[in-house]
Structure 1
Amino acid sequence: MTRFVLASASPARREVLRSAGIEPVVLVSDVDEDAVAAALPEGTPPHRVVVELARAKAESVAAEFLAAGTAELGADSVVVGCDSMLLVDGELQGKPHTPEIARTRWAVMAGRSADLITGHCVLRVRDGEIVGSALDCSATTVHFGKPEPEELNAYIDSGEPLKVAGAFTLDGRGGWFVDRIDGDPSSVIGIGLPLLRRLLGDVGVGIAQLWAADTPG
């Protein structure tokens, strides 16, 4: 059976997969995202930045468990890395980390639209080596509402926007401030199921195989 390895600590990505019938093995990469992005050539297009970050995470985890010979992953696995960033006025925005940065970003975002870009990398690992790879990104336009000052204060105080790309969530408290989206909602949460299904197909893995891997008995 083919096992699904998620190279991410994101509980939101994990829940998207679980709701879609896949129980992933979670192995978190130690990739320095800022360093990977800084090493890219100046002028690298936004979609390429997020794809390269996703690739770095997937390759790091694949290398780690291949070196360790992690037996429970079995002889056939797919390793999936993802990275999301919000494109606002031509600039990519990742996690704000501090309340001050989150507040500054919301001052720009409120009442406007921006593109949430999510890079995906799928590596097929079989019998101790990488035998296939597929990469791409999805882009979804997010139309933001205008939180009242007390709402925004409470949202930032909750800590949620500090830990997510673009300082908002669709599936959490931030969903109150998203008027609508144009595109794939799962991609906004962090892992786009339609795109991921295509990339899995590119490395020879069907969704039914992954469902079968998690079917009791």
Structure 2
Amino acid sequence: MTRLVLASASPARRSVLRAAGIDPVVRVSDVDEDAVAAALPAGTGPRDVVVELARAKARSVAAALAGETPGPDADLVVVGCDSMLLIDGELQGKPHTPEVALARWEAMAGNHADLVTGHCVLRLQEGVVTAEAIDCSATTVHFGKPDPDELHAYIATGEPLRVAGAFTLDGMGGWFVDRIDGDPSSVVGIGLPLLRRLLQEVGVGVARLWADHT
């Protein structure tokens, strides 16, 4: 059986996969995202930035798995993702502090922005990477205008400090999203339609990963 390894600690990404019939193995990468982004050539486009971050995470986890003793039939697909919000031409990651989150929301409220998510899928057979597929999805998010009390209460929950773009679609931030144009699963952090295509590119049909659910 082929198993999917999610190179992410994100509970939202894991929930999306579980709801879609896959119970992933979770292995968190040790990638320094800021260092990877800083090492990219000047002028690297937003889509390429998130794709390279996703690739770095997937390769880090694949390397760790390759160092372990694989079973005779070990067949894994390692999935790395990275999401950022593209607003006014600038990529925005996790704000980390209330002050940054507030500034982000002052710019986003009543506005729209693109949530871009890089995906990297590696096929790992008996400890060897045999195929790689990468791509990026983009979904336009139209934000509402929370009143000051709502906004300060939301920031006080801590949720927007830990997520790309300072909002969630599937959590408390969903109250302040008017609509989206595109794939909702991509906004949560892992785009199912795109992931299905990338899995096909490395030779794994998605139904093969549903074995425990049929």
Structures share a fold, TM > 0.5? yes
Structure-2 residue corresponding to 1:139? 138
Percent identity of the aligned residues?
75
Shift in alpha-carbon separation, 1:70–1:29, aligned structure 2, 3 A:
farther
- Cα RMSD over matched residues? 1.2
- Count the aligned residue pairs: 214
Structure-2 residue corresponding to 1:128? 127
Structure-2 residue corresponding to 1:23? 23
Structure 1 CA distance for aligned equivalents of residues 142 and 69 of structure 2 = 45
Deviations 1:163-187 (A, max 9, x none): 0000000000000000000000000
Q: What is the TM-score when the length of structure 1 is the normalising length?
A: 0.97
Structure 1 CA distance for aligned equivalents of residues 67 and 199 of structure 2 = 23
User: Which ranges of structure 2 fall in alignment gaps of 5 or more residues?
Assistant: none
1:174 has 2:203 as partner: no
Structure 2 CA distance for aligned equivalents of residues 160 and 70 of structure 1 = 38
Structure 2 CA distance for aligned equivalents of residues 75 and 157 of structure 1 = 45
Matching residue's letter, 1:17: L
Is the contact made by 2:70 and 2:126 (CA closer than 8 Å) also made in structure 1? no
SS in 2 for 1:68: coil
1:9 has 2:35 as partner: no
Structure 2 CA distance for aligned equivalents of residues 38 and 68 of structure 1 = 30
SS in 1 for 2:57: helix
Runs of 4+ aligned structure 1 residues displaced above 2 Å come to 68-71
Structure 2 CA distance for aligned equivalents of residues 69 and 57 of structure 1 = 21
Matching residue's letter, 2:112: S
1:204 has 2:203 as partner: yes
Structure-1 residue corresponding to 2:65? 65
Structure-1 residue corresponding to 2:54? 54
Is the contact made by 2:9 and 2:28 (CA closer than 8 Å) also made in structure 1? yes
Structure-2 residue corresponding to 1:105? 104
Is the contact made by 1:86 and 1:115 (CA closer than 8 Å) also made in structure 2? yes
1:185-200 alignment, distance < 5 Å: 185-200=184-199
Q: What is the TM-score when the length of structure 2 is the normalising length?
A: 0.98
Give how far 1:69 is off: 2.4
